[in-house]
Copies of this chain bind each other. A is one copy, B any other.
Amino acid sequence: MSELRKDPIINRWVIIAAERAKRTGDFYSAKPSPEPAASSKPCPFCEGNEGVTPPEIYAVRKPFSTPNGRDWLVRVVPNKFPALAIEGNLDKKGKGLYDYMRGIGAHEVIIETPQHLSSFTPLSEEHIRLVLQTYQLRMADLKKDTRFAYGLIFKNVGERAGASLEHTHSQLVVTPITPIRIAQEIKGAKHFYDYRGRCIFCDIISQEIEEDERIVINDEHFVVICPFASRFPFETWILPKQHLTHFEMIPPHILPSLAGITKKVFQKLEKALNNPPYNMLIHTSSFTMEETEYYHWHIEIIPRITRVAGFEWGTGFYINTVPPEDAAKYLKEIAV
């Protein structure tokens, strides 16, 4: 018998249907999608090919190196095919029922290492810390622009998860509107706070630690869980124990711990699911929102090992064939 579970934050229901996993063809083969045949083009993200990308916006560089040359550790460049352009004003318009505006925003690529790696897990914790710090600095910089409302940092890994380049990288897209998915999350958290006077994410952390059924890692600063109403098999969230609204406000002394836990979580997922395609998303609050007692930044990881079909598109209801309790137990036990 399957079970219906409600996400307590945005009231989205999911169907946990373990028996449906018996259906053939539900999972992609455990292997990652085949890499495209070695291209004759050089990888634009590798050291030595800096000239292939647009000029860098920011970089963590070795001493005495020069911008757009070699000898960097982390490099940020504009996306060559940006979804949104940085120059211009929004020029908001309406025509009958329809509202539209020019596609103004930012679309940056964070190249996580000069080496051609398809995963960031071989990087040292200190190197991963530099990547996380770069995210923070870029967010803080773009936040100053009053045309913008929201910044999403995300990572697509593997062709099935939408990655078009193999070399490990993340993206930052800044939009002039707070996206609907985030607005719903903020609204749900605010509603809970208005009613009970507490942060719902803090409450989730307490309940998860107490029940100890869906915990993958629990350390001093973070707790990693497979959420109660997981939409996808092996969906995994990293929740900071310290209540903070904005990702870019994490103080420097916490960052090494986040680097360590992020590395560990992805090592576990890569081992458990044989280098799955995945999306990683940093959920943080909108630019104009102050630090609040009700919204709590966190990271959501979605392994993309199942297909999303008509039922999910039509309803927003997800069918998940792996109960999060089973996924968490499995991930917890994997040694890395």
List residues of chain A with CB under 8 Å of any chain B CB: 1-6, 8, 10-13, 15-17, 19-20, 22-26, 36, 80-85, 88, 96-103, 150, 152, 154-156, 159-164, 171, 173, 175-177, 179-182, 184, 200, 203-204, 207, 211, 228-229, 279-281, 283, 300, 302, 307-311, 313-317, 319
Contacts and interface: CB of A to CB of B under 8 A. Distances in A.
Residue among A17, A25, A83, A100 having the largest count of chain B Cβ atoms under 10 Å: A83
28 contacts: A2-B82, A3-B100, A6-B99, A10-B180, A20-B81, A22-B81, A23-B80, A25-B159, A26-B164, A83-B311, A97-B200, A98-B228, A150-B315, A152-B311, A154-B311, A156-B309, A173-B315, A175-B315, A179-B314, A179-B317, A180-B316, A181-B316, A182-B316, A184-B316, A279-B310, A279-B314, A281-B310, A283-B314
Contacts of A103: 1-4, 15-17
A315 B182 contact: yes
A299 to B, nearest CB: 11
A98 B6 contact: yes
A317 B2 contact: no
Nearest to A6: B99
A263 to B, nearest CB: 19
Nearest to A97: B8
A19 B84 CA distance: 10
Residue among A12, A25, A302 having the largest count of chain B Cβ atoms under 10 Å: A25
Contacts of A211: 96
B279 A181 contact: no
Number of copies of this kind of chain in the complex: 2
Contacts of A302: 313
A18 B335 CA distance: 46
Contact of A84 (B15, B26, B150): B15
B204 A156 contact: no
Nearest to A94: B6
A281 B313 contact: yes
Contacts of A11: 180
B2 A84 contact: yes
B175 A19 contact: no
Nearest to A302: B313
Contacts of A1: 85, 88, 102-103
A65 to B, nearest CB: 30
Contacts of A155: 310
A100 B25 CA distance: 28
Contacts of A176: 4
A162 B159 CA distance: 17
Given A81-B23, A207-B97, A315-B179, A171 B310 contact: yes
A10 B316 CA distance: 13
Contacts of A313: 154, 181, 279, 281, 302
A5 B171 contact: no
